[in-house]
Amino acid sequence: MRDFSEVADDFESWISQSKKHRFIAEMCWAEFLNLRDRKPSHSDDCLRQVAMLEGTMMHQGFSIENAAKGVIVARSSTIIIGNRINSSAWEAKGTGHEISAIIRNIDESLYLAAGDLLDRAQEFVIWAGRYPTPMKLESYEAAINAKRLSMKSTDTQAFETLHDALTKLALQLASDKPFNRVAEKNTEGQPLNMGNE
């Protein structure tokens, strides 16, 4: 088993986690569409639809967050200080889940292209996908007033585009580093035969 710092400082670990959340978001979205096309026969049917929408947004948010952190890890020498991840590595104030700020610090054009998807996905990551309310009334009112507890028909495409761009950027940054593991792997992630086997 790999040790903590090896996993934390490996951008591929973050990208793999991002892909797992992307898969879950895709499954939630497909199930939402399936449920939406059926006539609700029970109050739980409506609750299931809402759960699938919330699951889609939350897992899209977690996916974006992990992909963005993969970019940061790919361009950093280490994110570990002592026996923990240095939360200032994420370049965001607060809980480390502020995906809007993290993306903006990585690439302003990615932030602008994603539009308000980031703010809405962030809301689901921090609380709306997990709890009925945030800790503070003002946070709840701000989310309601800004309409951040919703999903738009364009979100899935915007999410996929952003996720793909972040993954590509992480790979590019890692391949630009001297003596990195990416240079030793082919496109399928398998070790290259360097002629010494």
d(CA 14, CA 71): 9
In this prediction, residue 181 carries a pLDDT of: 46
Instruction: Give the structural domain span for 150.
Output: 4-182
d(CA 174, CA 188): 16
pLDDT digits (tens, 9 = 90+) for 39-56: 777 888 889 999 999 999
Could you tell me the CATH number of the domain that includes residue 117? Answer: 1.20.120
* Domain total in the chain: 1
pLDDT digits (tens, 9 = 90+) for 58-77: 999 999 999 999 999 999 88
d(CA 149, CA 119): 10
d(CA 188, CA 54): 32
Q: Could you tell me which residue, 192 or 174, shows the higher pLDDT?
A: 174
Q: Show the tokens assigned to 192.
A: 């290259």
Confidence of residue 189 (pLDDT cuts 50, 70, 90): very low
Per-residue b or e along 35-44, where b marks 16 or more CB atoms closer than 10 Å to that residue's CB = beeeeeeeee
On the question of pLDDT at 22 being above 60, the answer is yes
Q: Are 122 and 99 in contact (CB under 8 A)?
A: yes
Instruction: Give a yes or no: residue 148 inside a domain.
Output: yes
Instruction: Give a yes or no: residue 103 inside a domain.
Output: yes
